[in-house]
Each structure stands twice: as C-alpha cells, then as structure tokens.
Amino acid sequence: MKKILYVLLAIVLVVVVAIGVLVTLVDPNQFKPLIAEQVKKATGRDLVIEGDIGWRFFPSVGFAIGRTEFRNPAGFDETNLVQFNEAGVSVSVLPLLSNRLEIGQVTLKDARVFIQTRKDGVSNLDGLGGDKPAADRASDSRETEVQPTASGEGEVVAEGETATGEKWVISLAGIALENASVSLRDDQAGTVTALDSLNMNLSQFAPGEWADLNFDLAGQNGAMRFSAQGTTSLQLAETLDNAALKNTELSASMTEAGTQLDNVTVKLDAFNLGEWSDVTLSAKGQIPDLAFNAEGKTRIRVSQDKANISLQALDLKSDLEGAALPRPTMKVAVSGDAEYDLKAALATLSGLTVKADELALNGDASFKQADIPVLRFALSSEEINVDNWTGGDAEAAASEEAKPSETANTASAPAGSTSVSEQEPDLSVLKQFDVDGTVTVKRFVAANARLSNVDLAIAVKNGVFSLNKFAADLYDGTISATARLDANGALPVYQISNTIKGVQVQPLLVDVADNDILAGTGNIDVEVAGKGLAESRLKKNLDGTIAINFADGAVNGINIAKMIREAKAKLKGQSDTVQNEPKKTDFSALTATFMLKDGKAATNNMHLASPLLRVDGKGNTDLTEQSLAFQIDTSVVATSKGQGGKSVDEVADITVPLDITGTWQAPDYAINFKELVKRNSELDKRAKELEAKAKKEADRLEEKANKEVQRGLDKLLGDKAGDDKVKEATDKLLKGLFN
C-alpha cells in the first residue's frame, strides 16, 4: 500500500515540477506579437488581444486568452468583424520544449461575428482571403519569412519567429464555439439575419482523420424565428479540397406569421464524392390555410468534379389539410429520378410520377435556371377530372348566387373606381418563363363535358401563350383547336380557331348546360379574335364568325307545324283539334353563320330544312345580357302526315312568322300574328286584284269572240243575217257556246 502511495506521490511531484518548469521556461505572451503580425500580413486588419495570455492547467494543459478583437475597416456600423470574450486553447506539452505549438481544442466563448454589406455594395469581408494586389502580396512575402506548411498528420501549420527571435511551429486541432452570435446585415436589400445563439464542437481538425461535429443554433430573419441542430462525423481530405460525412442528422424548426415548421429532419447515412448515399427526410408544419406532414427518401450522388448532383428513386409523400386545398384533405406523392447540372444550371426529371389522390401524372420534365427560366415537359395521365377539384356544378351555382351582391357592390363603388369586370388579369408571368410541353390524357372531364384521347401542346415565350394543339374525341365526334394570347400590348390580344366535327349535340348540351333544346349531329367552325380579357371586354371586343351545321336532329321545346295549324285555325276563328303533340321540330339540316361584333352575335342566313318544313331566319343575341331577338319564317311544304299524325294539307304553302325572344336559359317562342295578318291581308288584296283582272280579261275575250262569231255568221247567212227570226236563233247559239 505504501508503495502505491509513493508512486502516486512521485507522479504528482513530477507533474508539479513539470508545471513549474513549463511556467518558468515558456512565456505564452511571447506569441502575441507573432499572432498579430501574421493576421495583419494575411488580412490587412488589426488583431487586438487585450490582457495577457495565461496558462491553464485544468481540465487540460493550455492557454487562457482574454478578450480578443479582429477589427473592421472604417465606415462600418460595428468596430469588430470578430470578437470573443474568452478563449481556451489546449496544447501538447512536450512539443513546446522543441519550439512546436501543437494546439488541440480551441474554445471560444461569447464570440460575435458581424458581417455587413453597405448600400454602396462594399462588404467588411472585402480584402480577406488573399485578394490583395500581387505586388503587395510579394512585398509581404519578402518582409516576413513565414510559410504555411502541413504537418505529417495533415494539420494546418504556420512557421515564424517570436519577439525574442526563436522559431516556432504552430498547429491546430479541434474547435469549439460556446454561445456565439452572428449578425448578417445587407443594407442594399434591407435585410438583417441574426444568430442569437450558436454552439459548435469539432473534436479534431486533422485532415485524413474522422472527427465528430455537432452544432445548434437559433436566430431571426425579420419576423421569422428559426433554430437548427445537427450531428455528423466529418473527414477532411489532406488537401482540404474534399470532405466525407457519415451518420449525419440535421433538424430545424421555424416560425413566422401564419407559418410554422414544427420539425424538419434530414438523415444521411454516408457521403463521399462520386458515391451513392441514402437520404431520409421528414417535415411537419403549416402555412396559412394549409397543414402538411411529409416524409420521403432518396439516394443522392455528387460527381467527383462537383458539377453534377443526382437523385435516384426519389419518393416523397405528404398528407395535406386546409382551406387552401380544393378538398378538405389530400394525399400527394412525387416519385422519380432527378439530376442537376451545376454548370448548365439544368435540372432534369425522368420517370416522374405526381399523384394527388386519384389524379396521377407521369412523364419527364426539365428546368433550366436563367434570367428567363426554361421549362420543358411531356406528361400523360389516364384520367383528369377537373370538376372533382373545382367543385363543378356546386361551385358554379354558388358563383351565380354571389353575382347579385357583386353587382350591387359594383354599383355602389365610388366614382372613378374600376369595377371588377373592367380589371385585366395579371399576365406578367408570361414574360417570366420559357415553357414548351405536351400533355396527353385518355379521359378528361371539365364543366361536366367528357372528352377522351386528349392531346395538348402549349408554349409560353416572350409574353406570348400559344395553344399549338388541342385535339380530342368528343361525344362520337372530334374537336381540334389552336389559340394565341399576346400579353405584350396595353391590352392582351387573342385569337382562337376551333373545329368540331360529328358531335352528338344533345348529350353534350345535357352534360354541359343541363339543356336538351337541340339534338343532332353537329359541325361547328369557330374563328374569333379580340382584345382584352376583362369580363366586359371579352364580350364587347369579340370579333369573328361561328358557323354551325347540324344534321338529322330536332329542336326540342317547339312544334312549328302545330303552331302553323293553330295560326291557320285562329285566322278562321277555329281551334286546332290535335292535342298532346310532342314539342319538337325535326329537321334534316340546320345551318347558320353568326357574326360576332360589338358584343352581339348576329345572323341573316339561319336555315332549317325538313320533309315538312322550311325555316329561314335572322336576328341576334346579346352576349352580355344573354338575350335573344330572332325572327324566323316557317312554311309547311309537304302534303304528308305531319308531326303528331295531323294532315298538313290544309296549311301547306302557308308562311308563318315566328319570334324567338327571352334568354339563353329560358327562350320564348311566339307567332307574330300582326305580321301574319298583315301578310294575309296583302294576300287577300292581291287575290281580289287578280280576280278582277281575270274577270275583265274574260269579258274582253268573250266580247271579241262574239264579234268574230257574228262576223262569220254574217258571211255565212248573207242577206238573211238581218232577219229577226234568224238573228234570234244565232243569239241562242252563241249563248249556248259561251255558257
């Protein structure tokens, strides 16, 4: 037992003697001018170490340094770029006896870093990092024979002379920050980012060796508060141009007005240039009217030249909830591969799948960062139902109910204010992107219209949107369209061409407008153009033509043949005896060309043809008021059984004028009896004139015939023609011939 005590006492004695020798032979303050000089030569800035550098023997042998300041140039809001109140430096003892200062763990307490960019663009970081003129750097090199080298272990090393002329070699190992703060101020942008609390610990600074690094920080940027923490194992390359990571885990949180990230976590199993690494991530939080809970995984690789970043098997999933969504809750997922070329600033996505509940899009895309970003894509989907995301009929009904109040608000708006209908949409986004892409959809539903095999191609460039192709199958027919929207002028200018062929009109109208007024096979050609997208300008400035050609159909809601019979019966003071006939007018062809101008669609060549009827019409509809003002002339031209089984012989060749008024939603049909009576009065007058003329002509012919017959009898009878008995006999003969 005594031997053990003697050994311990001997160790303590040796330590005490060693400390005494160390304190006696090595004065740490001799390094102050060396350190300050090296900093001045390297940066051109002053390093001020206030007070003495003292020895520290617990918990390890090292130095204790008091308040130290690294100055800013003149003209900045704070005097110091970097400052700290206290620093602890642990050192290896034996190398000191050989003029080697091997610094182990460097601990800085209450450090502060202040970085500022002034309004003139000058930063207090300018001039650091060796950007002096070459002549100045050469002069500095000649004045001080201090050369940075690397030790055998790859540590950062400097050589130089102390104030007493002794040569020393200095090296650095680990670094620790305790309660540090950072202020990043940009007066040009008017932003300030502050790290109120920054703690960091690097177990060793030894290139080629693994070191443990952990940190935590908290700060503020404007109204945003944030915090982050992380741990990793770090290995620096001996040339300090590369690093490897393993067992990395980072987490962060953030709060701002209406926005909160409760937890964002990223985990990386390992990282080496040119090799694949597994990454998992998660995020939970909310932004205004939207809460999210996301998680995902992927594999990442950074190329050896650090010019390319690749993501493989990206798989992100998120549960969403909130009023910002088209639905109360949604499940969204993104998967695929991605690659980013740093030199070209080009990101490409391949095998991309984007899912939102039942909606799924597949394809490829690319994005190039530039002054005007370039976006390219080719996407496809089995089915897209727009109504499921916009609310369909329910939302349309709600919009209609809101219109009266909107109108009232517009009416009560102060003089000089712009009503909602006069406001143009903001199309500046068309000038901010270069877009070109295609979308194909097997089944597509919008406004309850059902399309299939949709093929869409769009482009956006230099403020112009182009619909280069829109083709689809539509109710047993086809639709194709192109369009162009130019947003470069004071008002946007647009052109639309649309062709519909062989479409079954009735099921289309039933689905889109809940209206079966028209049936048949429809062909429609549309060529329109206009200026301005505000509601009022869309209707007033729309110019062009719409040509319709319907075949083998019917106009529901009106039986023109029955209306003609009723008109005929009314003129005779009678009534039509056929009741309960269907309100339908069949046709073999219905054509019209509408001219759009000044907010109205007008036609003068409306024509309906059927085996029984001929209908010709003209008129217009107001696009703003949605009112109708048409007059059509209807004629029964057949002598077969009419619609409903009533013979139409008695009304054949009668032309009846018919007025169509009301609105698109509720059209009214009425016979124009005033015009009908007028036309019949004119017919009666004409008939009487023709009858009188015919009678006059008959009398003239009869008189002439009598004269000719009398002349012939006179020649035949000679002198006896004047005899009374003969004359009486000839008169009886003539009357018998002409009566």
The closest of 588, 591, 589, 582 to 559, measured between CA atoms, is 582
Last residue of one domain, picked from the residues 206, 224, 246: 206
Last residue of one domain, picked from the residues 188, 206, 224: 206
The closest of 540, 539, 534 to 418, measured between CA atoms, is 534
Any idea what DSSP says for residue 418? P
Last residue of one domain, picked from the residues 206, 241, 275: 206
Question: Which of the residues in the chain have pLDDT under 70?
Answer: 1-29, 31, 42, 51-52, 54-63, 89-97, 101-105, 129-174, 206, 238-240, 391-421, 560-561, 563-580, 636-654, 673, 676-695, 697-699, 701-739
Condensed to tens digits (0 to 9), the pLDDT of residues 538-588 reads 888 889 999 999 898 887 777 766 766 666 666 566 665 556 677 777 788
Total number of domains in the chain: 2
Specify the pLDDT at position 251: 95
Residue 35, in any domain of the structure? yes
Residue 271, in any domain of the structure? no
Residue 42, in any domain of the structure? yes
Domain span holding position 694: 688-738
Calpha distance 220→36 (Å, rounded): 33
Residues near 601 by Cβ (< 8 Å), separated by ≥ 6? 546, 594, 595, 620, 621, 623
Residue 530, in any domain of the structure? no
Residue 288, in any domain of the structure? no
Q: With contact defined as beta carbons under 8 Å apart, do 284 and 295 qualify?
A: no
The closest of 205, 185, 186, 202 to 194, measured between CA atoms, is 185
Residue 135, in any domain of the structure? no
Specify the pLDDT at position 169: 62
CA 77 to chain centre: 44
Residue 101, in any domain of the structure? yes
Condensed to tens digits (0 to 9), the pLDDT of residues 423-462 reads 888 899 899 999 999 999 999 998 888 999 999 999 999 9
Residue 420, in any domain of the structure? no
